[in-house]
Amino acid sequence: MSSHQTAAQPGTPETAGAGRNLALATAAFAVCFSAWGMLAPLAPKVQDKLDLSNTETAIMIAIPVVLGSVLRIPLGWATDKLGGRAVFTVMLAYSAGAALLVGFTTSYVALLVAGFLLGVAGASFAVGIPFVADWYPQKRQGFALGVYGAGNIGTAVAAFSIPFLYTQFGQFSAGVAFGVVIGAFTLIWLSAARNAPVVRHSRPEYRQVLRSGWPLWQLSFFYFVTFGGFVAMAIFLPKLLHDWFDLSLTDAGLRAAGFTVLATLARPLGGWLSDRLQASTVLTISFVGIGFDAVGLSWQATDPAILPVTLFCLSMAGFLGMGNGAVFKLVPEQFPHSTGSVTGIVGAAGGLGGFFPPLVLGIVKDATGTFTMAFVFLVAFAWMSAGLALSMRAGKAEDTAVETPGTSAESPPVSQGRETIGAPS
**pLDDT (tens digit per residue) in 377-404:** 888 889 998 888 888 754 444 444 454 4
- CA-to-CA distance for 65 and 60, rounded, in angstroms? 10
Residues 84 and 217 in one domain: no
d(CA 381, CA 279): 19
Residues 243 and 169 occupy one common structural domain: no
Poorest-pLDDT segment among 130-134, 177-181, 250-254, 257-261: 250-254
In a shared domain, residues 139 and 33: yes
Which range, of 7-11, 27-31, 140-144, 188-192, averages the lowest pLDDT? 7-11
416 within domain boundaries: no
pLDDT surpasses 90 at 29: yes
In terms of domains, do 13 and 58 share one? yes
Are both 227 and 257 inside the same structural domain?
yes
Q: Residue 352 and residue 354: Cα distance in Å, rounded?
A: 5
- Rounded to whole angstroms, how far apart are CA atoms 410 and 204? 9
**What is the helix (H) or strand (E) element at residue 5, kind and residue range?**
strand 2-7
Q: Is the pLDDT of residue 82 over 90?
A: no
* Residue 57 falls inside a structural domain: yes
Closest alpha carbon to 396 in 319, 349, 308, 334: 334
Residue 207's pLDDT is: 67
Q: Are residues 110 and 197 in the same domain?
A: yes
Domain-located, residue 338: yes
Look at 8-12, 164-168, 328-332, 355-359 and tell me which has the smallest mean pLDDT: 8-12
Question: Rounded to an integer, what distance in angstroms lies between the CA atom of residue 369 and that of residue 139?
Answer: 49
Is 39 inside a domain boundary?
yes
Amino acid residing at 39: L
Distance CA 233, CA 258 (A): 12
- State which of 203, 234, 250 marks the end of a domain: 203
Q: Specify if 417 maps to a domain.
A: no
Which residue, among 182, 183, 164, 184, has the nearest Cα to 174 in the 3D structure? 164
Evaluate whether residue 322 is within a structural domain: yes
Task: Say how far apart CA 271 and CA 146 lie, in whole Å.
Answer: 5
pLDDT, tens digit (0-9, with 9 covering 90-100), for 281-325: 899 999 999 999 999 998 988 888 999 999 999 999 999 999 998
Is 167 in the same domain as 224? Answer: no
In a domain, 418, yes or no: no
Domain that holds residue 170: 1-203
Q: Does residue 340 fall inside a structural domain?
A: yes
Sign of CA dihedral 350, 355, 356, 361: positive
Structural domain ending residue among the three candidates 146, 179, 203: 203
pLDDT surpasses 70 at 206: no
Same domain as 275, residue 160: no
Ramachandran assignment for 136, one of left (phi > 0), alpha (psi -120 to 50 degrees), beta (any other): beta
Which residue from 422, 421, 414, 419 is spatially nearest to 134, judged by alpha carbons? 414
Q: In angstroms, rounded to a whole number, what is the distance separating the alpha carbons of residues 70 and 66?
A: 6
**Are residues 15 and 71 located together in one domain of the fold?**
yes
Domain final residue pick, 181, 203, 225? 203
pLDDT of residue 198: 62
Closest of 134, 179, 153 to residue 331, by C-alpha:
134
Mean per-residue pLDDT, 67-73: 81
Q: With contact defined as beta carbons under 8 Å apart, do 44 and 91 qualify?
A: no
- Name the domain count of the chain: 2
**3-state SS class at 29:** helix
Give the integer Cα–Cα distance in Å for 239 and 256.
10
Whether residues 194 and 99 share a domain: the answer is yes
Q: How many other CB atoms are found less than 10 A from the CB of residue 297?
A: 24
What is the rounded distance in angstroms from the CA atom of residue 128 to the CA atom of residue 10? 19
Q: Does the pLDDT value for residue 194 go beyond 50?
A: yes
Strand order of the β-sheet with 198-203 is: 2-7, 198-203, 420-422
Question: 238 and 169 in one domain?
Answer: no
* Across 13-22, 109-118, 146-155, 257-266, least confident range: 13-22
Q: CA–CA separation, 363 vs 223, rounded Å?
A: 23
What CATH number has the domain bearing residue 318? 1.20.1250.20
Mean pLDDT for all residues in the chain: 79
Q: What is the pLDDT of residues 229-283, one digit of tens each?
A: 887 787 778 777 877 888 776 677 778 878 888 998 898 888 889 888 888 889 9
Percent share of the chain, pLDDT over 70: 84
Q: What whole-number distance in Å separates Cα of residue 422 and Cα of residue 225?
A: 40
Do residues 296 and 217 share a domain? yes
